[in-house]
Amino acid sequence: EPERRSWLDKLRQGLKKTGSGIAQVFTGTRIDDALYEELESALLMADAGVAATEHLLHDLKRRVKETKATEPAQVKALLIDAITELLAPLEKSLEVGHTTPTVIMVAGVNGAGKTTTIGKLTRHLADARQRVLLAAADTFRAAAREQLGVWADRNQVDIVSQEGGDPAAVTFDAVQAGKARGCDVVIADTAGRLATQLHLMEELRKIKRVIGKAMDTAPHEVLLVVDGNTGQNALAQVKAFDEALGLTGLIVTKLDGTAKGGVLAAIALWSRQRQAPVPVYFIGVGEKLEDLQTFSAREFAHALLS
C-alpha cells in the first residue's frame, strides 16, 4: 500500500499541470454560464480535444440538473464522476499465459518511451513469475538494440537480437526461440522512425504477419506506446497505428508532469466509438522500473482534479 500511495502522489503531482486550470474553475461561488465556459477552455487547454470536451460538458450539465447541485464544489465532484465514467472502459488488465508463449508486439514512435516501457513491463511480468524473452526488432538503430539489451540484463531475461538484420526475420527467430525455450511471453520491440511513416507501417505489418506465421495466430497483443505529454498528437498516433496495425491496447507514458493529461479523455471517446474498445493497460509515471502502473479511471479522475 505505501508503494501504491507513492505512485498516486506522483500521478497527482504530475497531473497538477493539467488539472490546475480545471480545478480553478470551481473556486467561485456560482454555477453559471461563465463557469461552464471556463471549464470548456480548461478542458481544451488540457488537450481533451473538442469532442471529449463537449461530451463531458453535456454529461456534467445533465448530472448537475439531476442532482440539483447548487455549489461549485458539488459540480467538481460530478465532473470527477463524469470523467470516471468516460475513462472506465479503458481499464483492463493485460492477460498473459493463455498461450505459450503469449506474443506481444510493441510499437510507438521514437522517444515515446517504448524501450523503457518494455523494460518496466518485463519486470512486471517477471514479478508475476512469467518467463519473458525479448526480441530486438528495431534492427536499424544500434542504440535501440543496446538499450533493450541493458533492460534484458537488468531483468535477467533472454534477448534475440541481430545487428542490421531483417526486423521480421529477427521477430520470427525470437518467437521460435520463445517456443523452444518454453517462454511464457515474447515481447517484440519495433522501430519507430516517423520520418518514413509509410515504410515504417509496412515494416510493422510485416512483423505482425510473421508473428502470425510463427504462432498460427495473430500476435496476442499489438500495443502502442504513446507519450501522454504530446496531447492531441498522441491521439493522432493512436489513430494512425490502429489503422495500419489494428491495436489491442495502449500504454500512455509521461503522465508525471504533463499539462496535457486531458488527452486520456479524447482517447477514451475514440476507443468508445471504435467497434472493439482499445484499453489502456498501463500508464507511465516516471523513468524508474516501478513507474509503470495499471490504469484506474477513478484514480486518474481524482488525480486530475486534486
What are the residues binding ligand GDP (CB under 6 A)? 108, 110-116, 192, 253-254, 256, 284-287, 291
Cell of 264: 486520456
Cβ-based nearer residue to ligand GDP, 26 or 151: 151
Q: What DSSP designation does 118 have?
A: H
Does the annotation place 32 within a ligand binding site? no
Does the annotation place 131 within a ligand binding site? no
CB of 200 closer than 8 Å to CB of 233: no
Does the annotation place 143 within a ligand binding site? no
Cβ-based nearer residue to ligand GDP, 53 or 116: 116
Minimum separation from the CB atom of position 53 to ligand GDP (A): 25
Cβ-based nearer residue to ligand GDP, 221 or 256: 256
Q: Which residue is nearest to ligand GDP (CB)?
A: 284
Cβ-based nearer residue to ligand GDP, 116 or 122: 116
In whole angstroms, give the CA distance from residue 235 to residue 48.
10
Minimum separation from the CB atom of position 170 to ligand GDP (A): 16
Does the annotation place 168 within a ligand binding site? no
Does the annotation place 231 within a ligand binding site? no
In whole angstroms, give the CA distance from residue 210 to residue 234.
27
Does the annotation place 260 within a ligand binding site? no
In whole angstroms, give the CA distance from residue 229 to residue 25.
22
Minimum separation from the CB atom of position 94 to ligand GDP (A): 17
Minimum separation from the CB atom of position 154 to ligand GDP (A): 13
Q: Coil, helix or strand for 283? A: strand
Nearest residue to 131 via CA among 185, 188, 180: 185
Q: Cell 504530475, residue?
A: 14
DSSP string, 20-53: HHHHHGGGSS--SHHHHHHHHHHHHHTT-HHHHH
Does the annotation place 206 within a ligand binding site? no
Cβ-based nearer residue to ligand GDP, 46 or 255: 255
Pairing between strand 292-294 and 280-284? antiparallel
Minimum separation from the CB atom of position 108 to ligand GDP (A): 5
Cβ partners under 8 Å of residue 68, min gap 6: none
Known binding-site residue numbers = 108-115, 189-193, 253-256
Known binding-site residues for GTP equal 108-115, 189-193, 253-256
